[in-house]
Structure 1
Amino acid sequence: MTEKKKINIYIYSRYERFWHWFQAATIFTLLITGFEVNGAISLFGFKKAVSIHNFTGITWLTAFAFFVFWVFTTGEWKQYIPTTKKMFEVIKYYAYGIFRGQSHPVPKRKEAKHNPLQRLTYLSLAAILLPVQMLTGFLYWGYNSWEEWGISWLGLGFVAVLHTMCAFAILSFIIVHLYMTTTGHTLTSHTKAMITGWEEVEEDEMIEDWEKKAA
């Protein structure tokens, strides 16, 4: 079988790459300090871990607000519109097609960076999981002001449990995400793309009409 020729296309802007790595650093910092605050590990000391956790959390919340602004002002929100077109083909590809050397059913392009499964996953993260995590963290941080804010009826235990559950959900996503980064043309191709912005694809891959319909 003749090996298909590869070409490089520019996919990720500087801001996208910055946001990706910045968010990764903040999330890892929050997970590590969060585990220490809950007594699972010992690294910085409880008091310092709390300070780092609070500072990083507020920084993440602020940066996320800028990300949302960027998404809507640049039109990148279209990249997250969910679609079921070719969804099952993508699932079958990751279930067994990838192990048979099959080509990805949804070619990646600047106009459609995420396949249907990624769109649904990233939308759920950005619109539900991360906001809930940030909100519960902010509420936990401002506990002493609850009465002033008029939410003294809210249970601290509920907020704490929900915050922890979201943290484990994010950790689970990271584990899967790290595995998925190894499923490109090479083990490091997806990682390199998020560093340089350039993604390697097969030359004869054509833009699928699902991208246009989804956008």
Structure 2
Amino acid sequence: MSAHTEKEYIYLTPMPVRIWHWINALGIVTLCITGIQIRFPEYVNIFGSYKAAIRLHNTAGITVSIFYAVWLGYYLIVKGNLFRLYVPSTYDLKMGIFRQVLFYFYHFFKGGASPHHATPDDKFNPMQKMAYMGLMLVLMPLVIVTGILILNVAPLREWIILIGGIKLLVSAHFLIACCFFAFLFVHVYLATMGHTPLAHFKPMWDGWEEVEHH
């Protein structure tokens, strides 16, 4: 008996999400690089002056914040499926995460197929849901709020004192930024773990995901 593979294409990523994704990606990369120069000015000098790095960092931060609000409104109001996409279900917590971890660390290297099959209403596997929920619904709001406070120290001085002072605020902002920096590398690596190394990149360009049925 011969095995064969049937290919199917599903429209997985609408254009507004793709536009947001690449603007957000560029913004976060810019924030990470400028943040490194701001944090370690004596060792890093990529953008010329320290003030230039701060200006670019602030511009990228405001851009990412605005587009985060657009992303949130799109999934909450326009699509209405934010929590279905980004919050793990009971099954995800009981079995889905374990099965996905087993795939990433074992079955993938044996040529096995992922236990999760993406659809427009269920795009992310259980591990992705956990990661994106923490990133987009917890860390992103926190890094935006801490960034706004740092950007407006004088007018928001009382709020800064209330949460522990400027040193604690800056430290929190930096640690959250480190989480985003680490996520960039993990995100790119895991994106190569489709049935081909570029299979998961394609939907972010044209919206269509290629699905193979064996």
TM over 0.5: yes
Which of 66, 69, 74 does residue 70 from structure 1 map onto?
A: 74
State the one-letter code of the partner of 1:51: R
Aligned length: 203
Indicate whether 1:161 and 2:164 are aligned.
no
- Quick check: 95-104 or 184-193, which moved more? 184-193
Structure 2 unaligned runs (5+)?
A: none
Kindly state the Cα deviation for residue 150 of structure 1 after the two structures are TM-superposed: 4.8
Indicate whether 1:42 and 2:45 are aligned.
yes
Q: Which runs of 4+ in 1 moved over 6 A?
A: none
Kindly state the Cα deviation for residue 76 of structure 1 after the two structures are TM-superposed: 2.7
Structure 1 unaligned runs (5+)?
A: 205-215
Q: Distance in 1 between matches of 2:128 and 2:121?
A: 14
Indicate whether 1:175 and 2:185 are aligned.
yes
Indicate whether 1:89 and 2:95 are aligned.
no
Local SS of the residue matching 1:200: strand
Indicate whether 1:152 and 2:127 are aligned.
no
Kindly state the Cα deviation for residue 146 of structure 1 after the two structures are TM-superposed: 2.5
User: What are the residue-to-residue correspondences of 1:1-215 with 2, within 5 Å?
Assistant: 2-38=3-39, 39=41, 40-44=43-47, 45-73=49-77, 74-77=79-82, 78-83=84-89, 84=93, 85-147=95-157, 150-153=159-162, 154-203=164-213
Distance 1:151 1:35, change over 3 A: closer
Q: Distance in 1 between matches of 2:161 and 2:112?
A: 56
Tell me if the contact between 2:191 and 2:201 (Cα under 8 Å) persists in the aligned partners: yes
Q: Cα deviation per residue 1:108-128 (whole Å; 9 max; x = unaligned)?
A: 111210111111111111111
Q: Distance in 2 between matches of 1:34 and 1:57?
A: 11
Kindly state the Cα deviation for residue 95 of structure 1 after the two structures are TM-superposed: 0.9
Q: Distance in 1 between matches of 2:159 and 2:98?
A: 47
Q: Cα deviation per residue 1:65-104 (whole Å; 9 max; x = unaligned)?
A: 1111111111231211212242211110001110001111
State the one-letter code of the partner of 1:152: I
Q: Distance in 1 between matches of 2:205 and 2:171?
A: 35
Kindly state the Cα deviation for residue 36 of structure 1 after the two structures are TM-superposed: 1.0
Kindly state the Cα deviation for residue 23 of structure 1 after the two structures are TM-superposed: 0.4
TM-score for the superposition, normalised by structure 1: 0.89
Distance 1:151 1:170, change over 3 A: closer
Kindly state the Cα deviation for residue 4 of structure 1 after the two structures are TM-superposed: 2.1
Partner of 1:211: none
Q: Distance in 2 between matches of 1:91 and 1:165?
A: 26
Percent identity of equivalent pairs: 32
Local SS of the residue matching 2:53: helix
- Cα RMSD (Å) of the superposition? 1.5
Q: Cα deviation per residue 1:3-45 (whole Å; 9 max; x = unaligned)?
A: 4222211100001111111100000111111111112421112
